[in-house]
Amino acid sequence: GKPEILKYNLSGSWSRRLNGEHRIVYKITDDRVLVSSVKDHY
């Protein structure tokens, strides 16, 4: 799905839908992608 930048306490992180129910929440640093959540709503 289309990436969506998150706000508030997840500022700087991104969310992307994997399917209709699940999504991945991640943050990109200089040399890494840090995955915060792979499940349902953040």
41 catalytic, yes or no?
yes
With beta carbons less than 8 A apart as the criterion, state whether 24 and 37 touch.
yes
Of 4, 18, 38, 42, catalytic: 4
d(CA 36, CA 20): 19
Of 2, 7, 32, 41, catalytic: 41
4 catalytic, yes or no?
yes
Q: Which amino acid is at 3?
A: P
Residues marked as catalytic: 4, 41
